[in-house]
């Protein structure tokens, strides 16, 4: 997807841990640069999100979560594991940012729900402080699913996107019309270009729902199989929909963990790849430690002038 967005004619390779690339866009005499980080390895390496989601750049960040439409048993866990941990990281980084400038924190808190202030579902929408996109991949395979299964999966995806203030879209690397649409969508968050406002909620077509354009009324009730279980254990809409999701797609934790992280599965050992993954992970962990040490040093340096000023006033 990233290579197609950047219009690079290269063979796609599996992403190892966290990888970086960039794209350029000419705007008159000005060249815009977009920094793109891609996280691989399923949900096991979510802690690496703190590298791109740094307090120094958080106000310029966007988050795109890609789920495999042909693996509905994993989509809920993939989305919410990455999203929930991104929320924690962003909140921590915002706390660091407010220490440097209270104005930046005000911008985040004011803008967070600004796009939904007039929406009838505002009390059920908890958007990230940064733009969020939920992309469903492999639509070319998904379109061959049974109509009823497509309908159910689309309902879950619409709920997941809408209640988290996300834009929802579907794509396939094998369908040029979808590639063009996704390039426009990604460009809107990378370079600030105009995004398409086209809305499609028909489960027989690729979904395209800009943030704030959906509603819980249009999405409908959670598709429970056993209606008598619809209120058991649910304390909020997310729990309610999760109960319905588990009825259709029971989660097999052990199988899921092994599938998410093949490196932990002895049946799929490849020494060269395993060594590369370990090396990349060590490098990223070292980068994180270096970033924390530098932030601590900057904080200490900022405190010294304030202390000197205090002593002078005494």
Closest Cα partner for 265 from 310, 216, 295, 274? Answer: 274
pLDDT in the model for residue 311 = 44
Please determine, for residue 241, whether its predicted confidence score (pLDDT) is greater than 80: yes
Query: Which residues neighbour 116 within 8 Å (Cβ) at sequence distance 6 or greater?
Result: 122, 125, 127, 165, 212
The predicted pLDDT at position 257 comes to 46
Over the stretch 205-235, which tens digit does the pLDDT of each residue have? 999 999 999 999 999 999 988 766 555 556 7
More confident residue, 94 or 244: 244
User: What is the model's pLDDT at position 108?
Assistant: 60
Supply the pTM of this predicted model. 0.79
User: What does the pLDDT look like over 145-165, one tens digit per residue?
Assistant: 999 999 999 999 999 999 999
Distance CA 312, CA 146 (A): 76
pLDDT at 259 over 50: no
User: In the predicted model, what is the mean pLDDT of residues 275-301?
Assistant: 63
pLDDT(297) > 80: no
Give me the chain's average pLDDT, please.
Answer: 81
Query: 222 by DSSP, 3-state: which?
Result: coil
Return d(Cα 276, Cα 246) in angstroms, integer. Answer: 36
- For residue 59, pLDDT over 90 is answered with no
State the number of CA atoms in the 13 A half-sphere of 239 facing the CB: 7
Residues near 95 by Cβ (< 8 Å), separated by ≥ 6?
Answer: none
How far is residue 178's CA from residue 52's CA, in Å, rounded to a whole number?
A: 27
């Amino acid at each position: 997807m990233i290579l197609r967005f950047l219009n690079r004619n290269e063979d796609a390779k599996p992403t190892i841990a966290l990888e970086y690339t960039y794209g350029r866009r000419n705007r008159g005499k000005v060249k815009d640069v977009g920094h793109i980080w891609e996280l691989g390895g399923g949900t096991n390496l979510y802690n690496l999100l703190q590298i791109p989601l740094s307090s120094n750049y958080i106000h310029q960040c966007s988050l795109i979560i890609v789920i495999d439409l042909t693996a509905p048993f994993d989509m809920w866990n993939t989305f919410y594991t990455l999203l929930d941990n991104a929320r924690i990281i962003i909140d921590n980084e915002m706390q660091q940012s407010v220490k440097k400038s209270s104005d930046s924190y005000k911008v985040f808190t004011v803008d967070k729900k600004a796009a939904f202030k007039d929406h009838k579902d505002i009390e059920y929408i908890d958007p990230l402080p940064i733009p969020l996109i939920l992309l469903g991949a492999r639509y070319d395979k998904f379109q061959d699913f049974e109509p009823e299964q497509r309908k159910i999966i689309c309902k879950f995806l619409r709920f997941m996107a809408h209640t988290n203030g996300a834009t929802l879209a579907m794509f396939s690397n094998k369908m040029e019309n979808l590639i063009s649409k996704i390039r426009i969508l990604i460009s809107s968050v990378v370079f600030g270009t105009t995004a398409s406002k086209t809305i499609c909620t028909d489960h027989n077509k690729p979904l395209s729902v800009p943030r704030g354009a959906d509603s819980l009324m249009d999405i409908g009730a959670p598709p429970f199989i056993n209606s008598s279980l619809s209120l058991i254990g649910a304390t909020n809409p997310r729990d309610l929909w999760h109960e319905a999701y588990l009825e259709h797609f029971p989660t097999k934790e052990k199988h899921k963990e092994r599938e998410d992280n093949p490196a932990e599965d002895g049946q799929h050992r490849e020494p060269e790849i395993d060594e590369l993954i370990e090396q990349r992970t060590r490098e990223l962990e070292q980068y994180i430690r270096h970033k924390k040490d530098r932030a601590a040093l900057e904080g200490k340096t900022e405190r010294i002038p304030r202390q000197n000023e205090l002593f002078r006033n005494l």
